[in-house]
Structure 1
Amino acid sequence: MRTILIVEDDILEQDFLKDIIKEEVSKSDAIITCNNGPSAIEAAKEHRPDFIFMDIWLPKLDGIKALTAIREFCPNAAVIILSAYSDFSFAQEAIRLQVKDYLLKPIRPIEIRQTFQSVYLNSAASTSHFPQVLAPNIPIPKTSIHMDVIEKSVQYIQQNFKQKLSLKAVSDHVYMNPQYLSRIFKKEMGISCIEYINRLKIEYACKLLVTTDKSICQISSLCGFSEQSYFNRVFIHQMNTTPKLFRQKNGRTGSFEFLPTDL
């Protein structure tokens, strides 16, 4: 029996991960879930998981700090980091904490399956008493036109989300009709193109609010919003609080307390 710990504060994404992992493990394996840093530490102490899916942005204690604490008593757990923001400092910490993979949100089901299968099977191969219950991890060729378009779109968004970025700008980059791109993006990624852009913008805004003294107006501009009022509306929608209150609550401690609403 193996134990998988999923640490994700968004209930929809937590259920999404759990449903996928259920399909990849044996019936004797246990899947444990929690939604914040402190509860992740307590769950890890109690269940000593073999595999951990750890979101970085968590309430009360961020994923990196939670994982640092967990490593003290679960040094051999195979960890997969989940993040909506590609930050080199996080990648450095992930390397230090010996994580197996670092997946950027939104994550396609195939990415989760392939990553988990690889980690799961490697663990099986190194543990003689553990039965290998999965089929071999067969790479899926990326020849689909849709997949190619989505990958190019995501890459473009990640490189340019700090600018004023529209669906049309993304669709022009991949030479596709905006409405058609919107449909296939939602289908393949599980989130709309605009929601994905705004999620990256707001997570970057949260980082700036906590780590800098820049004004909210400046941060709004740095995140690619032309109007602070729109920035405030998007921020409240995602974080369930205002930028000002978020900064007051978190200060410049480096500890991020996120309370995002479902997108």
Structure 2
Amino acid sequence: SRFLSMVSHELRTPLSLIIGLSEMILREQQEARAQLKLRDMEQIHISAQHLSRLIGDVLDLASSEAGQLHILREPLDLLEVLTMTAKIGEELSREKGLTWGVQFPAETPHVMGDRTRLRQVVLNLISNAVKFTQSGEVRLDVRVDSENVHVSVSDTGMGISLTEQGTIFDEFYRSPHAVQSGYGGMGLGLAITKELIEQHDGSIQVRSPGDLGTGSTFSFTLPLFMDTDASKELQADRNSNLVMVFVEQGDEPSLIAGHLKASGFEVQVYFVDEDENWVRKITRVLPSAVLLGERLAAREGWAVCTILKRRPSTENIILLAYSVEHGQVLKLDYLHKPLNMETLTRELEKIQGSTGKQVTVLVVDDDPGILDMQSRLIEQSGRQVITARNGREALEVVGQKPPDLILLDLMMPEMDGFAVLDELRSRHATRNIPVIILTAHVLSDAELERCNRGVAAILGKGIFSSEETLKHVEAALTHQQALGKATQLLVRKAVAFMHAHYARPVTREEIADHVGISPDYLTDCFHQELGITPSTYIRRYRIRQACDLLRDTDQSITRIALAVGFSDGAHFTRTFQREMGTTPRAYRDSKQA
């Protein structure tokens, strides 16, 4: 994972420069520039953003090879998962003039799997089938035997030669005939599909006669989940009275177990030395709480926390580490990474009038290009800028004259951003200086926890626009983002949940339940931190994702609407026009002209 973070950092740093500088040029003196030059700059900006997303796909694939691409396993009604995907397939086929066919079994197959990832797999197969079929039919078929469920997507398209069938799932492989015919793509879709199916303990294969125009069939097999009824009962009526206690041999759990039983809880005690699959017990039984002995928690606590948080069926289980001897109970929890936090794009208002002094911002980055770009961005807002090229230099500057705000890069030689942050928080004179972290690599849970102790915001390089960065600067300088305050952390967690689930219908009640607060208090927190409601936020985020798809892909408007969480194209078009001032089709035409 460290290697992947380094790769991400090295690739995205130059992209951050391209995106940031082109965006700044587009904002400056647009009327004075020739229309052709503006069009060229827009194309540079769009191309850089597209390249950044492609790099993300490559890193996702590398993550899977390194065992870092996780799926969220829960009991699923597979037909329920595939029904919406089948509707999308029908729409895609109809738009291209193809016949759509679907056949589901009478009995309902259940599997243990990731709902979103399985939809991604089937939709990718259907999209490929439609893409490479000029006339005829595309079909989705599901059948069940005694142990497995078999899903297949068939088409009457160009077909796949016998020699290619052995390499079609390789990373970056593209069919020579498809390339000659002008079909685009990077050759990542089927490779990622294969990885996801194998993560589900399944297999995937392709069949085709091999001759041009004879069509092909992609099919995958998943093991049936046999314990469906018991699992559904547990999910529908979780035993709110059950506490599972896990300890190692040599620990004495009787005292804590006896106390819990006397308090009315049902208690199950397990010695992990006797069962290497003890974590699986938690995910199957679904207790209300789990207690880990002190030694076990020190070694496995955060790993277990991560597993539970990544599964919808277990994310709300309370996880506690306890020590009877020391009289301590620690709740293990973490916030979802806020690297993709969306903000309002309103103008930065100068604050000199309200503060009565010139505001100073310290920008710290070891990359000269990024350092110059961020400095210019802050100077445009009327702030005084001081720069530092590494962590030690930054601490020297702070020691001489503490700034009002620090923009801090995480990955620097000699002394990284984490060390700088720790040093700042250890000093009485500097512990309350707001810090905005700028990072191009993916933060681990431990790193995020470390940052959350004293960071106003965490921005991903190349993810936030200049306007959004300035908005964070304004909020930090005017103390609208008090360090570590409860409402800010709640909003971060809610925003991360929205980013992860925007592609499906999400209610305010569901978001509030995930965060652990009431819906009304959730709205109050959003008003306080962002100035908008949760509904407005997720609507704008969906429209932003739709803009990217309209600009950078040839997907139909209906498919894009479904992909970003709208139930129908008409509602999407109305919402898009209200937010963007133009229709989706007109927006696409203007960006792809």
* TM-score, normalising length: structure 1: 0.51
Q: Distance in 2 between matches of 1:118 and 1:91?
A: 33
Residue 106 (structure 1) aligns with? 343
Cα 1:89/1:210, change in 2 over 3 Å: same
Q: Report if the CA contact (8 A) 1:37-1:63 is conserved.
A: no
Letter in 2 for 1:123: T
Report the equivalent of 1:89: 52
- In structure 1, list runs of 5 or more residues that go unmatched: 1-34, 44-57, 69-85, 94-101, 254-263
Task: Work out whether residues 106 and 190 of structure 1, in 8 Å CA contact, stay in contact via their aligned partners in 2.
Answer: no
CA deviation profile, 1:39-72 (whole Å, cap 9, x unmatched): 42779xxxxxxxxxxxxxx999559739x9xxxx
Q: Is 2:361 the partner of 1:117?
A: yes
163-172 vs 196-205, which moves further: 163-172
Q: Is the CA contact 1:38–1:60 (under 8 Å) kept in the aligned structure 2?
A: no
Q: Alpha carbons of 1:36 and 1:147: their partners in 2 closer, same or farther (altered >3 Å)? A: closer
Instruction: State the Cα distance separating 1:175 from its structure 2 match.
Output: 1.9
From 65, 81, 89, the equivalent of 2:45 is: 65
Which residue does the alignment assign to 1:173? 514
Residues 1:207 and 2:548 aligned together: yes
Contact 2:546/2:564 (8 A) holds in 1: yes
How many percent identity over aligned positions?
Answer: 24
Distance in 2 (CA, whole Å) between partners of 1:183 and 1:88 is: 38
Which stretches in structure 2 are left out of the alignment for 5+ residues?
1-22, 32-37, 57-338, 346-350, 352-359, 364-383, 405-429, 435-453, 455-481
The residue that corresponds to 1:223 in the other structure is: 564
Number of aligned residues: 170
2:28 aligned partner: 40
Superposition deviation, residue 91 in structure 1? 11
Match of 2:539 among 157, 176, 198: 198
> What CA distance in whole angstroms lies between the structure 2 residues aligned with 1:245 and 1:220?
15
Rg comparison, structure with higher value:
2
Q: Which amino acid aligns with 1:154?
A: V
Q: For residues 196 and 103 of structure 1, do their structure 2 counterparts lie closer, same or farther at Cα, with a shift above 3 Å needed?
A: same
Counterpart Cα distance in 2 of 1:190 and 1:60: 35
CA distance in 2, matches of 1:192, 1:59: 35
Q: State the shift of 1:133 in Å.
A: 7.5
CA separation in 2, counterparts of 1:60 and 1:170?
A: 41
After superposition, the Cα gap between the structure-2 partners of 1:60 and 1:183, relative to the gap in structure 1 and judged at 3 Å, is farther
Q: Distance in 2 between matches of 1:237 and 1:211?
A: 21
Cα distance between partner residues in 2 of 1:189 and 1:146: 11
1:159 matched to 2:500: yes
> Counterparts of 1:190 and 1:63 in 2: how far apart (Å)?
33
Q: Distance in 2 between matches of 1:150 and 1:105?
A: 11
Contact 2:551-2:588 within 8 A present in 1 as well: yes
User: How does the TM-score come out when normalised to structure 2?
Assistant: 0.25
**CA apart distance, 1:90:** 6.5
**SS of 2:555's equivalent?**
coil
Distance 2:44 2:340 in 1: 14
Find the residue that maps to 2:512 and give its secondary structure. helix
Per-residue deviation, residues 200-247 of structure 1 (Å, max 9, x unmatched): 111111111122221111110001101222211210111100011111
| Structure with the higher strand share, 1 or 2 | 2
- For the pair 1:233 / 2:221, whether they are aligned, the reply is no
Paired with 2:491 and 2:43, the residues of 1 have a C-alpha distance of 28
Q: Distance in 2 between matches of 1:209 and 1:118?
A: 38
Deviation per residue, 1:68-123 (Å, 9 max, x gap) = 9xxxxxxxxxxxxxxxxx99917979xxxxxxxx9843179xxxx9xx83416651
User: Given residue 40 of structure 1, which amino acid in structure 2 is its aligned partner?
Assistant: E
CA distance in 2, matches of 1:121, 1:133: 12
How big is each residue's C-alpha offset from its partner over 1:4-55, in whole Å with a ceiling of 9 and x where there is no partner?
xxxxxxxxxxxxxxxxxxxxxxxxxxxxxxx974342779xxxxxxxxxxxx
- Shift in Å, 1:192: 1.7
Specify which structure has the bigger relative contact order, considering alpha-carbon pairs within 8 angstroms and separated by 6 or more residues. Answer: 1
C-alpha distance in structure 1 between counterparts of 2:558 and 2:385, whole Å: 49
Give yes or no for contact 2:502–2:564 (8 Å, CA) kept in 1.
yes
Give the RMSD, CA atoms, in angstroms. Answer: 4.4
Q: Structure 1 residues 208 and 90, CA, compared in 2 at 3 Å: closer, same or farther? A: closer
1:89 maps to a residue whose letter is: S
Distance in structure 2 (CA, Å) of the matches to 1:243 and 1:172: 33
Q: Write out per-residue CA displacement over residues 151-196 of structure 1, whole angstroms, 9 at most, x where no aligned residue.
A: 1101111111122222122111112211221121111112221111
Contact 2:341 2:492 survives alignment (8 Å): no
- Structure 1 residues 117 and 60, CA, compared in 2 at 3 Å: closer, same or farther? same
**Aligned partners of 1:159 and 1:122: how far apart in 2?**
37
Letter aligned with residue 245 of structure 1:
A
